[in-house]
Structure 1
Amino acid sequence: MQLSHLDLNLFLTFEAIYTHGNLTLAARTLNVTQPAVSNALARLRDRLDDPLFIHAGKRMNPTPMAQRMIGPVRQALRLLQSGISAAEEFDPALSDKTVRIAIGDIGETILLPRLVERLRRLAPVMKIQAFNVPRRSIPRKLSLGEIDFAVDIPLLANTQLMYDKLMSDDQVCAVGRHHPLATQHTLTIDDYLAMSHILVSSRSRGGGLVDIELDRKGMSRQISVRLQHYQAAFHMIKEIDLAVTAPLQLTRMYDCRTFPLPLEVPKLDLYLYWHISADQTAVNRWLRQQIFAAL
């Protein structure tokens, strides 16, 4: 089957049915009648010699062939839309776009408040949605247009992703004002190893950058608590004699005592990622400018 034998509008119908699992909702999205959607689906079924969707109650479930098709179809439609959007006028003051960002705890705390404040002034109708997306899923979700940007540590090379360094920060050790070591001027490696630590990580196992460096030196620290979010960690050290190693910018947002780490640890680098298909669109370029300006 060659594309020259297909009406490419059929793929718009296919994507809408796949998304909504319902002919009525697909028709409403496409602003056509339900019989028109049914007719388009029948034509595509005939051309591809596959039912594509099977009725299961009120929902239409995709066949294996439809599941294989949806990724490339969505990416192709997104590329076409990007080509159209790149030439369009963009007025941020009038745009009602919902900006979807895959972002972790650090970026959400440091970047998003500044970005929201900036957009409320320059693009007051825009909305932001933040998601915690597994790292391995970021390239696919960017390619499908399910997210517009991702903020993360350096990822494996992917020719479909564009990126730029967003921030680079030193890590420091933070304790509460009433911690027994809070009045010291410096922190020795022996002090650091003797402390009870909080490890903040979205993963269920494994250490952080500090633990990798300690392991190289044949040392380890005592991790008493493992958390998913830094906010909880800073509330905890305020009341309990625990320590948390965190980016310097983050510690400045809380009432705590900080010390330079008593060992060399790489800076924490965060990058902004976006898909190559959106690189030249006016809205994506403008949003990138605002994200970097916010920091």
Structure 2
Amino acid sequence: MNLSRVDLNLFVVFEAIYTLGSITAAGRKLNLSQPAVSHALARLRTLFDDPLFERSSRGMEPTPLARALILDVRNALERMEGTLHRTVHFDPSTTRRRFTVAMGDPFDSLLLPLLMERIGPVAPGIEVATLYSDRRRVEPALLEGSLDLAVDLLLPMPPAINLKPILSEPMIVMARRGHPDVRGKIDLDTYLGQEHIQVSSRRRGLSAEDMALRRCGLTRHVRLRCEHYGAACRIVSRTNMLMTMPFSFASMANESVQNQLLPVPFPVPHLELFLYWNISSDSDAACRWLREQILLTMAEVQGHSAQSTESTESAETTSS
């Protein structure tokens, strides 16, 4: 059976007859004439090769096949009605909705506290569930609807997935307070002479700073590769190893350890983050609203980052 050739309104008629037990009552509920309902029932009988309903003293009695169909039909109609309601009638103060968003460390630590602070008071029924998703799974998950949104680096995506830049973040060098070779400033020779921590979810491969060094014909000694910035910041505070990371992530993770944050002594590109979503959700008012809240939140992060970066660079200039 080809679904594109089936009039889905027939199932609305089916559900009304099943619920009310009467063709006449179903017509009144649906604002249809009795002949129109009878014609729809005739088409359903042809479609399923079954009478579906039989007349009795109690009205139109469903056949065993109709009883087997009704739960799936009602579920499908309820989901469609819910989708239409969310699309046309979205009120954040009353809507109950759960969104699934893919993002990894430390994006969730950077975004979620400010996002939930923003939406909590105005949207008490909105729930957000975050998860780490392998980058190879982001595209199919967005297309199939198991993910509503994703936050990640620039990824190749098909036309069915939209993306928008949400953060452009400068990189900094982190060193412990009291580091014998790094005291308020760092030059390239000192940087290259130290051992480094590289944070990555991948097992191997170059980071942005390593690729920037390669372009200059230089390399550094990566002593430790780990997955989490929080752990790396604590390691920096207990060793003489350095770490190069995005400024906002460093500021957030550094609150408890108070390491030095210094400008990178060579040209390295900013970290660029993007928000991804299925283009079909552009008609979903609730999804549009959540995307707007994320964009506003990241704009706030970007503003704080710009101010703090200026202060760091000013301190570096003064100490020089």
Q: TM class, shorter-chain normalised?
A: 0.7 to 0.9
Question: For 2:225, what is the secondary structure of its paired residue?
Answer: strand
Whether 2:295 is the aligned partner of 1:292: answer yes
Which residue among 273, 278, 281 is the counterpart of 2:284? 281
Q: By how many angstroms is 1:82 displaced?
A: 9.3
With CA pairs under 8 Å and 6+ residues apart, which has the higher RCO, 1 or 2? 1
Q: Counterparts of 1:110-259 in structure 2 under 5 Å?
A: 110-185=110-185, 187-253=186-252, 254=254, 255-259=258-262
* Root mean square deviation, CA, Å: 3.0
1:180/1:149 CA distance change after superposition, 3 Å: same
Partner in structure 1 of residue 309 of structure 2: none
Question: For 2:88, what is the secondary structure of its paired residue?
Answer: coil
Name the count of aligned residue pairs. 237
Q: Is the 8 A contact 2:184 2:260 kept in 1?
A: no
Q: Normalising by the residue count of structure 2, what TM-score does the alignment of the two structures yield?
A: 0.67
CA distance in 2, matches of 1:128, 1:152: 17
What residue ranges of structure 2 are gaps of 5+ in the alignment? Answer: 10-63, 71-78, 299-320
CA distance in 1, matches of 2:4, 2:287: 32
| One-letter amino acid of the structure 2 residue matched with residue 188 of structure 1 | D
User: Which whole-Å deviations, capped at 9, do the CAs of 1:174-216 have from their partners, x for residues lacking one?
Assistant: 111122234143x221111111111000101112001111222
Q: Is the 8 A contact 2:196 2:224 kept in 1?
A: yes
1:36/1:267 CA distance change after superposition, 3 Å: farther
Q: Normalising by the residue count of structure 1, what TM-score does the alignment of the two structures yield?
A: 0.72
Q: By how many angstroms is 1:4 displaced?
A: 5.4
| One-letter amino acid of the structure 2 residue matched with residue 251 of structure 1 | A
More helix by proportion, 1 or 2?
Answer: 2
Instruction: Give runs of ≥4 in structure 1 deviating > 6 Å.
Output: 35-38, 80-83
Partner in structure 2 of residue 84 of structure 1: 84
What residue ranges of structure 1 are gaps of 5+ in the alignment? Answer: 10-34, 42-77
| One-letter amino acid of the structure 2 residue matched with residue 197 of structure 1 | H
CA distance in 2, matches of 1:240, 1:4: 65
Partner in structure 2 of residue 260 of structure 1: 263
Question: For 2:121, what is the secondary structure of its paired residue?
Answer: helix
Q: By how many angstroms is 1:118 displaced?
A: 1.1
| One-letter amino acid of the structure 1 residue matched with residue 155 of structure 2 | L
Q: By how many angstroms is 1:157 displaced?
A: 3.6
Q: By how many angstroms is 1:40 displaced?
A: 4.4
- Structure of higher CA gyration radius: 2
